Structure 1
Amino acid sequence: MFKLDVPFLSLIRLSFIIMLLCGVIYPVAMTGVAQVTMNDKANGSILYNEEGDPIGSQLIGQSFHEPYFFHGRISSIEYDGRNSGSENYAPVNTEMLERVYFTINEWTEKNQHVSVHSVPVDLLTNSGSGLDPHITPEAAMVQIPRISDVLGIEETRLVELVREHIEGKDWGIFGAERVNVLQLNLSLLELID
């Protein structure tokens, strides 16, 4: 039978070295690399207004309920950045169906000019994290008639605005085209002023 004969003090030293490497040196090194190579992302990708006050993060969605704003995906956690996740319901789950029907009814009340059959699915469902700040370009385009009616801005100008904010696929091949709702709404506010 194999017997391991390691002195107790050696185990304590090895544990201390591993804690120092993994708990202090590595995190400090990675934080330093992140601050140098991608400072904005490492600090939360915060957007600021003209006075220098933080408005929000490009990485976490926000609730927009006013009719003159573009609306993002629904969030079961109300975009609370301290949490992440949503219910992993099956498509036939009764709670899921009730929430989707409620969202459809709410959406069609606010957007009476659009057929419920043309509403992109990302406006009716939430993302896996519940924090997604993006919608599809189609989800932004379908809201243009409502915003045009409320603000009196020509639809063609709003279409241009959405197209200016379409982000391509990651590295040109991963994911899908998307629009950051917060950035789009900030540009919409500039258009109004």
Structure 2
Amino acid sequence: MLWVNLWRGVIVSAVFFVLLGLAYPLAETGIGQALFHHQADGSLGTNGSALVGQQWKGPQWFQGRPDGDDPTVTGGSNLGPRSKELVDTYKKRAAALRKQGITPTPELVAASGSGIDPDISPAAAYAQADAVAAARHLPGDQVHALVAAHVEGSQWGFLGVSHVNVLELNEALAGLK
């Protein structure tokens, strides 16, 4: 009787291994690749993934949140709102933005909770538009129109807030003549 129960356990384990360990993941991967190829492959563009915030060097580019250059290091700094180090960091970032002719906004000064946020608010993008236009010797109206074209509304009209993906905006900016 012991061997019969042991054999049944092995059979059930093997069946579930094949179903849940092989068949189900392969089916999910196939469906993802067939219906959502771009997303399943990480939403990659010519400059990386649109889902990961990236640093852009120089005043000729729109800047995202000051999250750092390493997308493998995620998470906040664990500095509290009364931390002198945090306040000093924010003051330095705000001063650097003002020096570039950009009015500081919260997301241009504070890092995101995840450390890899690719989006900023439309207000933060518009705050940078004139400085980017001046650095690229482009008409301000053209850069403002580019920002407006890249404002994404909330999902399904009620989930989340309007935002601008900085990678996609900078890729479009690079395509301007």
Alignment TM-score, normalising by the size of structure 2 = 0.87
1:145 aligned to which of 120, 130, 133: 130
CA distance in 2, matches of 1:9, 1:98: 66
- How far off is 1:34 after superposition? 0.8
CA distance in 2, matches of 1:22, 1:120: 47
**Letter in structure 2 aligned against 1:34:** G
Helix, strand or coil at the partner of 1:140:
helix
Deviations 1:12-51 (A, max 9, x none): 3333333332222221111111111111101111113xxx
- The answer on whether the counterparts of 1:60 and 1:79 sit within 8 Å (CA) in structure 2 is no
- Is 1:108 the counterpart of 2:103? The answer is no
CA distance in 2, matches of 1:96, 1:17: 54
Q: Structure 1 residues 85, 188: closer, same or farther in 2, change over 3 A?
A: same
CA distance in 2, matches of 1:14, 1:94: 59
Identify unmatched segments of 5+ residues in structure 1: 1-5, 49-54
Helix, strand or coil at the partner of 1:26:
helix
Task: Give the 4+ runs in structure 1 shifted more than 4 A.
Answer: none
Number of residue pairs the alignment of both structures matches = 174
**Letter in structure 1 aligned against 2:6:** F
Alignment TM-score, normalising by the size of structure 1 = 0.80
**Identical amino acids, percent of aligned pairs:** 31
Name whichever structure is richer in helix by fraction. 2
1:125 aligned to which of 110, 128, 133: 110
CA distance in 2, matches of 1:37, 1:79: 30
Deviations 1:48-102 (A, max 9, x none): 3xxxxxx2111112111211111011114x242x343233443223443233223
Identify unmatched segments of 5+ residues in structure 2: none
CA distance in 1, matches of 2:60, 2:151: 20
1:17 aligned to which of 2, 12, 15: 15
CA distance in 1, matches of 2:107, 2:51: 17
Q: CA RMSD in A?
A: 2.0
Q: Which residue of 2 aligns with 1:178?
A: 163
CA distance in 2, matches of 1:189, 1:151: 10
